[in-house]
Each structure stands twice: as C-alpha cells, then as structure tokens.
Amino acid sequence: MVKVLVCGALGKMGMAVVKAVEASDDLRLVAVVDTGIDPDTDIADVDTPSAYRDLSQAISATEPDVMVDFTHPQAVEGNLRIALRSGVDCVVGTTGLSQDTLVTLAEEAPQGTCLFFAPNFAVGAVLMMRFAAEAAKFMPHVEVIELHHDQKADAPSGTAMRTASLIAERRASIPALAPQGSEIVAGATGAQVDGIRVHSIRLPGLVAHQEVIFGASGQTLTIRHDSLDRTSFMPGVLLAVRKVGGLAGLVVGLETLMGD
C-alpha cells in the first residue's frame, strides 16, 4: 500500500487527486496539506484525520511514501525541497520551474529518491505532443496555441513549453519564421520558445486545451487536445504515484511511464 500526501489539497486539481487516491484500492491517503486548510474540516468530502497547513509537520507525522504537488509556481520549489530532503518521492504537476531548478532539487535528495515532473498528466495530451513531434519532421513550420482557465498562474503553459521543445528536437532544420509584418502591439504574434511561436489564451470556462498548427505550401495540419474535466488528468497522476517508487533522480514526462 503506497502512502500518499497531497499538497495543494484545496485547489481544484488537489481536490481531484484526493478523490482519486481515496478511490484506489492500492493507495492510502495519509495527509492533505494546504495553507488554507481548517484541520477540523473535511477535504473534498473525504474524511481524513490528517489535514495540515505545514508540510514539514505533515511529513514528520505521517511518513508518506509519495507527495503529489499541485500548488503554485511560487510555492512548489520550497515544497519539493522539504519533501525530497526527507526522502519522499515527489509527483509534480505544478509548472513554472526551470529544468535547471528541477535538476538541482533532485540532486539534493537522498540517493534513490525520485522527482517526477510532468507538464501534463492527460494521456491524450502526451499523445498530442508525440504526434506533433513526429509531424515536425515533415512540416517544420508550426505555431502552438494553448488555452487555459483564467486562474492559471503561468504562461506559456508547461505543456506548450514541452511541446515546443519536442518539436525543436525533431526538426531537421529550423525554418525561418513565417512573415508576420510589423507588430502594431508588442507580443501580438506570440512568444518564441525554442524558435517556435507560442500563443497563450486565458479565459473563464476553459480547463486545459492546446492545438499545434503546422503549415506548408497549400496545406495545414492541426493536432488538438482538449481536457474538458480535471478527471482527465487522474489516470496519469495515479500511474506516476504507483511507478515513482521504482524510479530515482529526475524523471520528466508521463511518456516515460507509458512505454511504446
């Protein structure tokens, strides 16, 4: 039985993770952590005896095997440092940390401890990125449009950044960016990530969506993924929670757990 601590339990993703862990026969929720928690209040209709505001206290009291973190870019680094130094494997979906920071955090952990990070835990999103990387070998002119709810803290999304990185790795050469004319307003044609234009949209009513549009003479190709509900991320999160105990160091991307 894997003992799980959920950090950021009052957030929408955190609440979904709490429910998913509680519904799993092979996982046991031992603690929920959030700075806004009232220890006398049930979290997400789950009657857990271990609700904490302080992560260090929660780890010391409940000794989890895995911490799942869906918090905020400003909080996640501190959370990971506490958990990893305690030898707790971490499954992280909070974006905003650089690759260098992730490497440093993983190196600070005791040997055998794993920091698993995925910019997106939806299986469909992983397939979208895989298909986009494959298409880039044949249609290197591409732009990425990512759309998220208006409470998302970072832009571009981690998924868009990862998609751009994968596309850049697979292109035989980097073509000149398509002519855009003069920007009347700075940023109108998007940001550049690894030589690829990325556009971020934030609106209420959205969850997590991304399309990758390839262009070539006389044709376009669009690859799109939509998460319509946060339950779409839960199979990927639970897969990582179950697998992370057999991994070590920094591991990035749900695709590393999915095989071929």
- Domain check: are 91 and 151 in the same one? no
Task: Report the pLDDT value the prediction gives residue 169, as an integer from 0 to 100.
Answer: 92
- Domain check: are 51 and 173 in the same one? no
- Domain check: are 74 and 23 in the same one? yes
CB 51 within 8 A of CB 27: no
Sign of CA dihedral 88, 89, 90, 91: negative
CA atoms within 13 A on the CB side of 195: 14
Residue 152 is among the residues annotated as catalytic for this protein? yes
Residue of 3, 12, 141, 152 marked active site: 152
- Domain check: are 206 and 248 in the same one? no
Residue 141 is among the residues annotated as catalytic for this protein? no
For 163, the domain range is 123-227
Task: Report the pLDDT value the prediction gives residue 50, as an integer from 0 to 100.
Answer: 84
Q: Name the phi and psi angles at 108, rounded to 5.
A: -80, -15
Residue 105's CATH number? 3.40.50.720
Query: What predicted TM-score, i.e. pTM, was given to this entire model?
Result: 0.83
CB 115 within 8 A of CB 34: no
- Domain check: are 89 and 64 in the same one? yes
- Domain check: are 82 and 175 in the same one? no
| 231: DSSP letter | G
Residue of 19, 148, 209, 243 marked active site: 148
E strands, 70-157, in order? 89-92, 114-117, 141-148
- Domain check: are 55 and 81 in the same one? yes
- Domain check: are 8 and 106 in the same one? yes
Report mean pLDDT in 10-residue bins for the chain, 260 residues.
Answer: 95 94 95 81 59 93 96 93 97 90 94 95 95 94 96 90 94 68 80 93 96 96 96 96 96 86
- Domain check: are 238 and 198 in the same one? no
Task: Report the pLDDT value the prediction gives residue 41, as an integer from 0 to 100.
Answer: 59
Report the domain count for the chain. 2
Residue 163's CATH number? 3.30.360.10
- Domain check: are 12 and 112 in the same one? yes
Tell me, letter by letter, the H, E, C secondary structure of 66-90.
EEEECCCHHHHHHHHHHHHHCCCEE
